[in-house]
Amino acid sequence: MTLSQIREAEITSVPIESLLSEVADLPHDDPKRIAAVDEAVRRHEWLVRWVASRYSGRGEDHEVLRQEAYVGLMEAIARFDPERGAFLPFAKLTVLGTVKRHFRDRRRWIRLPRRLQELQADIRAAREELAQGSGHQPTPRELAERMGADERDVAEADAATFRPVSLDAPAPSDPDSTLADLVGDEDDRIDKVVDMEALRAALPRLPVRERKILLLRFYGNFTQAEIAEKLGISQMHVSRLISSTCKELREQVLEMAS
């Protein structure tokens, strides 16, 4: 085994927290620090792939998401403080936060007030500190206590970001469909709603027999012959009554609309 292979094996066996702690005070261009960062990236490439896959299908190219996730991983490596906890929980939250901010910055349609923007920056910093120490996402109350701010202001700023979702995103109920498939098409029957309501008001004005004939014909799907037999009149008479009654209804509806 060569000297470089021995050194590589030694680096691989060192916990990532210890590895980053050893090089934290070294210059960024120091070979030892560069090797430690490369090792940290190599060990957490799976995290980059996982986050990129999690946010794929939301209107953004997968390679762009992967690059954003790598940016988040590098930020986590640069800001990691071994005294506050393990690296993985902190890296996971940082990478997720970077990708989420990418979507937010790319798709924000409403410019937030400066007060909320400044508060959001403080929230991000406080969230990273608390998350690294506890390993879970802090609540608005925990953030407010950490920042010395009002909990309602923190909750408002944290929820103020508008995050539209692409219509090409998978539908929650059916991964094989998109959100666009759930959007209803135009319903031609909507144009008939006004006419139907006007007709509903005009029907009670008809004589009982004529009203019954229309209900049997158009709602009960009875044939003219069946209606004639039911009422004890001729089919010809039923036909004339339907024709004259429809004409009367049409005139009443037009009169009501004028």
Q: Considering the domain boundaries, does residue 131 fall inside one?
A: yes
Shared domain for 61 and 162, answered yes or no, is yes
Please tell me the predicted confidence (pLDDT) of residue 233: 93
For residue 212, the cross-strand partners are: none
Q: pLDDT tens digits for 189-203? A: 545 545 665 676 677
Shared domain for 121 and 223, answered yes or no, is no
For residue 174, the cross-strand partners are: 171
- Band of the pLDDT at 56, cuts 50, 70, 90? confident
Q: Considering the domain boundaries, does residue 221 fall inside one?
A: yes
Shared domain for 233 and 137, answered yes or no, is no
Q: What is the mean pLDDT of the segment spanning 14-26?
A: 85
Mean pLDDT over the full length of the chain: 77
Rounded CA gap, 14 and 37, in Å? Answer: 13
- Phi/psi for 113 (5° steps) reads -60, 150
Count of domains in the chain? 2
Q: Considering the domain boundaries, does residue 33 fall inside one?
A: no
Q: Are 74 and 38 in contact (CB under 8 A)?
A: no
- Phi/psi for 175 (5° steps) reads -60, -20
Shared domain for 49 and 141, answered yes or no, is yes
Shared domain for 142 and 245, answered yes or no, is no
Percent of the chain scoring above 90 in pLDDT: 14
Lowest mean pLDDT among 81-85, 128-132, 226-230: 128-132
Fill in the amino acid letter for 91: A
Q: What is the mean pLDDT of the segment spanning 24-39?
A: 88
Residue finishing a domain among 139, 169, 199: 169
pLDDT at 8 over 50: no
Most confident region among 8-12, 14-18, 32-36, 238-242 by mean pLDDT = 238-242
Q: Considering the domain boundaries, does residue 179 fall inside one?
A: no
Please tell me the predicted confidence (pLDDT) of residue 100: 85
pLDDT at 6 over 50: no
Shared domain for 149 and 194, answered yes or no, is no
Residue 165 CB burial class (10 angstroms; 0-12, 13-18, ≥19): exposed
pLDDT at 113 over 60: yes
- Band of the pLDDT at 242, cuts 50, 70, 90? very high
- Band of the pLDDT at 4, cuts 50, 70, 90? very low
Please tell me the predicted confidence (pLDDT) of residue 9: 42
Shared domain for 86 and 164, answered yes or no, is yes
Shared domain for 155 and 49, answered yes or no, is yes
- Its domain, for residue 56, covers 44-169
